[in-house]
Amino acid sequence: MRHSITEAKTHLGELVHQVEEGSAIELTRRGRAVAMLISIPAYERLKGEPQAPWDSIEQVRKTFDFESLDIDPDEVFGLR
């Protein structure tokens, strides 16, 4: 969704409800995008600390049950 800042001021309560339901609102000034209105969970995901590559790989290994998919994790990752 896209709204001018002036429109957003007028309808802020309604826009916040839309954002809480998962929408992202682009705010414009003179037709140019200048800001985004997003939910707290979306913001938290975006600002999260980047993980080291090895930590990300380990997280994937712990998250998915490769055996139930008939996949050997060592073939996929080749790491130990």
Domains and CATH numbers, the chain: 2-46 (3.40.1620.10), 49-77 (no CATH)
pLDDT at 60 exceeding the cut of 70? yes
pLDDT at 80 exceeding the cut of 60? no
CB-neighbour burial class of residue 66 (10 A; exposed 0-12, middle 13-18, buried 19+)? middle
CB-neighbour burial class of residue 26 (10 A; exposed 0-12, middle 13-18, buried 19+)? middle
- The pLDDT tens digits of the residues spanning 64-76 come to 887 777 877 777 7
Question: Model pTM?
Answer: 0.59
- The pLDDT tens digits of the residues spanning 6-36 come to 999 999 999 999 999 999 999 999 999 999 9
